[in-house]
Amino acid sequence: AQSVTQLDSHVSVSEGTPVLLRCNYSSSYSPSLFWYVQHPNKGLQLLLKYTSAATLVKGINGFEAEFKKSETSFHLTKPSAHMSDAAEYFCVVRVISNFGNEKLTFGTGTRLTIIP
Amino acid sequence: DGGITQSPKYLFRKEGQNVTLSCEQNLNHDAMYWYRQDPGQGLRLIYYSQIVNDFQKGDIAEGYSVSREKKESFPLTVTSAQKNPTAFYLCASWGIGTEDSYEQYFGPGTRLTVT
């Protein structure tokens, strides 16, 4: 079985300070991991993805995430928050089993608020 | 530009009526998905289709139906049997993206309100 846990449902940071959104996963197989962002009443947009290449992944808008197998984590970070970063963020794990079955599991989301 | 379109953006229906949500993609992707999003619950998979004329139930398929007669189209019908149909519905497809690896593409969503 696989699962993904976003450790914080809501994070608030001041503009210009670092952002950390935490994500832990569990999987019996080698996972692919994704972070998506969703602005109000919009679809989801891919921020970045890990697919077993480099463990430090750089995405759009200055975000990056590091895959740590020993900690089963894939935390999302950004050095300096901008007002436009205010949105909901989803961590997603994709696994393909030895039987060829594919499953995509979404975290429950973290709402990021930026304080002016 | 390639992408996924969902229409309409907002939809209102009376209880007891069936309603069909449209999803069209021009990305030439084989796999398409329907998700339901409720506050604080993330996304839950309703149905998915990996190829034309074939589809599978997701985690919350009860009260919903789909068809996949064309590669480009994957409409979702919310039937009167769905007990809590008011939600934000997202259509997605799965295919090759940046860096030649697979990723999921999402439409802009349809917000359905049933009263």
**CA nearest neighbour of B34 among B72, B87, B75:** B75
Residues of A in contact with B97 (CB under 8 A): 46
A31 CB neighbour count, 10 Å cutoff: 24
Cα–Cα dist B43/A91, whole Å: 11
> Residues B76-103: what's their mean pLDDT?
86
Q: What is the DSSP letter of A83?
A: G
**Minimal Cα distance from A33: which residue of B?**
B103
* Chain B contact present for A44, CB below 8 A: yes
Write the burial class of residue B3 (CB in 10 Å: 0-12 exposed, 13-18 middle, 19+ buried). Answer: middle
**Are the beta carbons of B95 and B30 closer than 8 angstroms?**
yes
Q: Beta strand B4-7 with B19-25: parallel, antiparallel or unpaired?
A: antiparallel
**CA nearest neighbour of A41 among B42, B88, B12, B35:** B88
Mutate which: A2, A44, A58, vs B, most B CBs within 10 A:
A44
B55 CB neighbour count, 10 Å cutoff: 20
- Least confident window among A30-44, B42-56, B94-108: B94-108
Cα–Cα dist B111/B87, whole Å: 6
**Are the beta carbons of A49 and A111 closer than 8 angstroms?**
no
The answer, yes or no, to whether residue A6 has pLDDT greater than 90, is: yes
Closest-CA distance, A33 to chain B, in angstroms, reads: 10
In this complex, do B103 and A42 lie within 8 Å of one another by their Cβ atoms?
Answer: no
The answer, yes or no, to whether residue A56 has pLDDT greater than 90, is: yes
In this complex, do A44 and B106 lie within 8 Å of one another by their Cβ atoms?
Answer: yes
In this complex, do B40 and A106 lie within 8 Å of one another by their Cβ atoms?
Answer: no
Residue of A9, A49, A106 lying closest to B101 (CB–CB): A49
Q: What is the pLDDT of residue B104?
A: 86
In this complex, do A34 and B103 lie within 8 Å of one another by their Cβ atoms?
Answer: yes
Residues of B in contact with A90 (CB under 8 A): 42-43
Q: What's the sign of the alpha-carbon dihedral B30, B24, A95, A52? A: positive
> Residues A14-38: what's their mean pLDDT?
92
- What are the φ and ψ backbone dihedral angles of A84, each rounded to 5 degrees? -70, -5
More confident residue, A113 or B40: A113
* Chain A contact present for B100, CB below 8 A: no
- What are the φ and ψ backbone dihedral angles of A83, each rounded to 5 degrees? -55, -35
Band of pLDDT at residue B76, cut at 50, 70 and 90 = very high
